[in-house]
């Protein structure tokens, strides 16, 4: 099977700071790192390192050629990635000593996707394949419609959270991924319980409290988080999402996939950075084996 990802590609500018900036505050950073990220690229790398075959559909700016080399180094094939006149998307990320972050995103080339290119990338998809989406690109609805016409599973990360974007794509989504804050905003905006949404499952990540898989009617699978000392939580949700989809694509049950994704995210947050910090399958399985022995 194959995991397709209409995904954002960003240049991440990461600043280590004493505390997250307050309104009107000017402060000096203690350290700086430029790396490749974006929710889409992060999720693709996580899925790749979990063992999935991944086709990434995206766009980068023609003036940012180094990003192509970075994508290749991370294992992402460039065949479905367009070069456009818009600058590559970028993110300004502040990270405090506890690993918490604050992020400002400029979408850039991520909003310049092409529907024809998406259809071409999905031309080889089969029933049961997976499509990953996030709210950092254009043409989300078109991609989701095309995927469902092929009887693919569609996983949508509702971040950055915008109810209008979610309403538009939700009729074509099979699995919705949200964090705890997004889950509250979604319930407040729709007036509906998560179990009443028209999808096969809602997956909620709750940080140190673990994660849940909620099916219609209230059927819920919950797994605990893996306790670690975080260095940088940026990209943890992306690591979880990409790992989860890869695990499901590999035939794992929801419970097994949640545990795999939680372990992967636990490893990822102990490292600085985003895409480059994603763990490989061997590391995750070793951690899961250690947990099983200690149970």
- Indicate which residues carry an active-site annotation: 238
3-state secondary structure of 135: coil
Q: Closest by alpha carbon to 110, among 41, 165, 179, 161? A: 41
31 CB contacts (<8 Å, ≥6 apart)?
A: 15, 16
3-state secondary structure of 32: strand
188 CB contacts (<8 Å, ≥6 apart)?
A: none
Distance of CA 161 to the CA centre of its chain: 13
Q: Closest by alpha carbon to 11, among 71, 55, 77, 51? A: 71
Antiparallel, parallel or unpaired: β 153-157 and 130-134: parallel
d(CA 224, CA 212): 9
Beta bridge partners of 60: 83
Q: Closest by alpha carbon to 183, among 202, 169, 165? A: 202
State phi, psi for 203 to the nearest 5 degrees: -110, 120
- Which strand ranges, in their side-by-side order, compose the sheet holding 81-84? 81-84, 53-61, 2-6, 130-134, 153-157, 175-179, 201-205, 211-214, 220-223
Q: Return the DSSP state at 201.
A: E
d(CA 25, CA 167): 36
């Amino acid at each position: 099977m194959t995991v397709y990802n209409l995904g954002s590609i960003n240049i991440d500018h990461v600043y280590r700071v004493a505390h997250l900036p307050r309104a009107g505050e000017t402060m000096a950073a203690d350290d700086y790192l430029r790396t490749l990220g974006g929710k889409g690229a992060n999720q693709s790398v996580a899925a790749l390192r979990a063992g999935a075959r991944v086709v990434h559909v995206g766009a980068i700016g023609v003036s940012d050629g180094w990003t192509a080399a970075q994508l290749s180094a991370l294992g992402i094939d460039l065949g479905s990635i367009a070069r456009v006149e818009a600058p590559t998307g970028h993110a300004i990320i502040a990270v405090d000593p506890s690993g918490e972050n604050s992020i400002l995103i400029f979408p850039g080339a991520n909003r310049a996707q092409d529907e024809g290119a998406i259809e071409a990338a999905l031309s080889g998809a089969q029933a049961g394949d997976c499509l990953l989406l996030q709210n950092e690109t254009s043409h989300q609805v078109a991609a989701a419609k095309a995927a469902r016409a092929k009887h693919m599973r569609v996983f949508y990360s509702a971040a950055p959270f915008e109810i209008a974007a979610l309403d538009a794509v939700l009729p074509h989504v099979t699995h919705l991924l949200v964090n705890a804050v997004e889950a509250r905003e979604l319930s407040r905006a729709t007036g509906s319980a998560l179990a009443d949404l028209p999808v096969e499952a809602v997956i909620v990540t709750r940080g140190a409290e673990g994660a849940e898989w909620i099916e219609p009617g209230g059927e819920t699978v919950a797994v605990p988080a893996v306790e670690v000392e975080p260095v940088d939580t940026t990209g943890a949700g992306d690591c979880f999402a990409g790992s989860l989809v890869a695990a499901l694509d590999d035939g794992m049950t929801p419970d097994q996939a949640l545990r795999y994704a939680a372990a992967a995210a636990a490893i990822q947050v102990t490292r600085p950075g985003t895409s480059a910090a994603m763990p490989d399958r061997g590391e995750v399985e070793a951690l899961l084996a250690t947990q099983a022995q200690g149970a």
